[in-house]
Structure 1
């Protein structure tokens, strides 16, 4: 199927494009605001996309190791996020305590100001087959990491 390193890098890059695009679609089309951990999961995908583009333009397959590292980073954050959602461990105070830190009293009391609700990391906003978005990100990112590794090892 996909045997060349270049094809594998393209597949892994498009995988991150799809996952990051899906996250933005859930946010801007579906109206599901991301929590702090959701946002953190996006950055490694952005890095993987950049790595993939550079690898495709330069032909240097050694960059695939960095792509694998980026995919594993987002998978790790995803696993941590799943643990927070399932209450296996505590999450970050900034997204599980319902904090309104950083919002002035004047803004809170001003009815003309639109103050968004705090998005909590320990609440599952969407799931499919009993797996949350963070869980799907972790699963699919591990698969992408495997593709990146195969790309790095393929001649």
Structure 2
């Protein structure tokens, strides 16, 4: 069980690490939906870290909390992918227009963000020649981690039943 908890922590760190590297090392600004896609991974990281220190029975139960977080991450990826492919508009208002306020030109200029936000319908491709956006890769990765989590938890449950019967 502790190995699975550590796996979840490492999987979340990998997802967040790629996002950090893309933003800070490659200089690619995330859009608002990209920022939302990071939250489930933060939850998986927290749950995995806590589960690693809980007794086995409670740790296994805690790890089940990662499943809805990963499903939420997959859902956000599907939503963002649909926005990138033009299937529907972004549900977030920050993806549509900059928030500029003020009566005078000086007030409006002062309210503008220092860096322009990236539109949510502009995909980020990390691998040249591969037309799979970072959003889609993140969704596929979340699906992979979810499958690994569920298979591991069911396998542990099956072994537990075999031992006690």
Q: Which 4+ residue blocks in structure 1 deviate beyond 4 angstroms?
A: 102-105
CA shift for structure 1 position 26: 0.6
Q: How does 1:61-140 map to 2 (within 5 A)?
A: 61-97=60-96, 99-104=97-102, 105-106=105-106, 108-109=108-109, 115-128=114-127, 129-140=130-141
Higher relative contact order (CA 8 A, sep 6+): 1
Q: 1:28 aligns with which of 11, 24, 30?
A: 24
**Structure 2: how far apart are the matches of 1:119 and 1:31?**
12
Cα shift at 1:92: 2.7
| Residues paired across the two proteins, number | 148
Name the CA distance, whole Å, in 2 between partners of 1:8 and 1:116. 40
Largest Rg, 1 or 2 = 2
Give yes or no for contact 1:9–1:151 (8 Å, CA) kept in 2: no
User: Hey, what's the Cα distance between the residues in 1 that align with 2:34 and 2:53?
Assistant: 30
Distance in 2, Cα, partners of 1:94 & 1:118: 12
**Unpaired runs of at least 5, structure 1:** none
Runs of 5+ consecutive residues of structure 2 not aligned to the other structure: 158-165
> Could you say what the CA RMSD is over the residues aligned between the two structures, in angstroms?
2.0
Q: Tell me which of 4, 10, 14 is aligned to 2:6.
A: 10
